[in-house]
Structure 1
């Protein structure tokens, strides 16, 4: 749709696939890729990757193995970076989509300045809310919702295992912002 996209991905094989997609779709001028895990701390964290699986790596070893217990797991050190460190305050953000196998609370904490933006400047938020994965990373749905409430996100609805959150009581806000951005 012509929007700029920022991608954080710590697994090399996934980065290769993302870069292939960027190249094949000719959107290199719209996508910025970071080889890093989004988190609440700048530095390095231990990451657990399942051999033969690209879809279930996680910061938590338990979270990585929940769906595929038979796969061998390897640990690697990956760079971690808060979203507040890579997204300038002046950069408008329409949407944040987070699916990090239970590490969602830490990603959200690392985006507290971004999420504290007022009213329509605040991004629409979609994140995975799987209580088993959250517990494996020592967090919970309640902890996430309490944090989101402190930064003004009072309206969340559940769609399968995804939570959709806004600061207003309407999903029209995202549609309205997309319409406005495509006109300008």
Structure 2
């Protein structure tokens, strides 16, 4: 089954175990998924096999960021979610879980998406690191109306502050690249160029 009229890719940043990625891939949409947690990557690889979507999914064992290199990442023992670049952000919801710091590769989205590649949707759920992910996608987000992706990102002020950013900083940046239309849906923000 192919998604009708959907020419472009879905970029899933903070893919976790791949739920959103697989939903898009089984509809025939190409997916770029970023996930730095090894245990989550194992589940994504299993899902790629069981859903038979290997030709539609590219998985990066990395954290999307605003710079190429490495970043210290904090993983909670016994949790497949809530890992974060910020140690404070990782422990906000689950204070009793042991935290492990490790180095993970960081890649700006602009490094892996050619300017000619259409992008339908950019989904970001990275426990407060959203600003850095968006900055690393400046070229993609600067595309003109009709070519710039729809954005859904988590906008949790506590998590953002733990990573030294804020909702205002994100909104100011998005406006600077032409995203003037953002609406709030719970802790998610949805943004589009109009």
TM-score, normalization: structure 2?
A: 0.86
1:41 is the counterpart of 2:89: no
User: Match for residue 23 of structure 1?
Assistant: 49
- Residue 151 in structure 1 maps to residue 171 in structure 2: no
Gaps of 5+ in 2: 1-26
Report the secondary structure of 2:143's partner residue.
Answer: coil
**Aligned ranges for residues 26-175 of structure 1 at < 5 Å?**
26-168=52-194
User: For residues 36-77 of structure 1, what are the alpha-carbon distances to aligned partners after superposition, in whole Å with 9 as ceiling and x for unaligned?
Assistant: 000001000000001111101000000000000000101000
1:3 lines up with 2:45 in the alignment:
no
The unaligned stretches of length 5 or more in structure 1 are 169-184
**Separation (CA, whole Å) in 1 of partners of 2:139 and 2:79:** 34
- What RMSD in Å do the two structures reach over aligned CA positions? 0.5
Q: Deviations over 1:15-55 (max 9, x none)?
A: 01111111111110000001000000100000000111110
CA distance in structure 1 between the aligned counterparts of 2:116 and 2:35, rounded to whole angstroms: 23
Q: Deviations over 1:101-159 (max 9, x none)?
A: 00000000000000000010000000000000000000000000000000000000011
SS of the equivalent of 2:119 reads: coil
Q: Within 2, Cα distance between the matches of 1:108 and 1:20? A: 29
1:152 partner SS: coil
Aligned positions, number: 168
Higher fraction of helix? 1
- Structure 2: how far apart are the matches of 1:112 and 1:152? 11
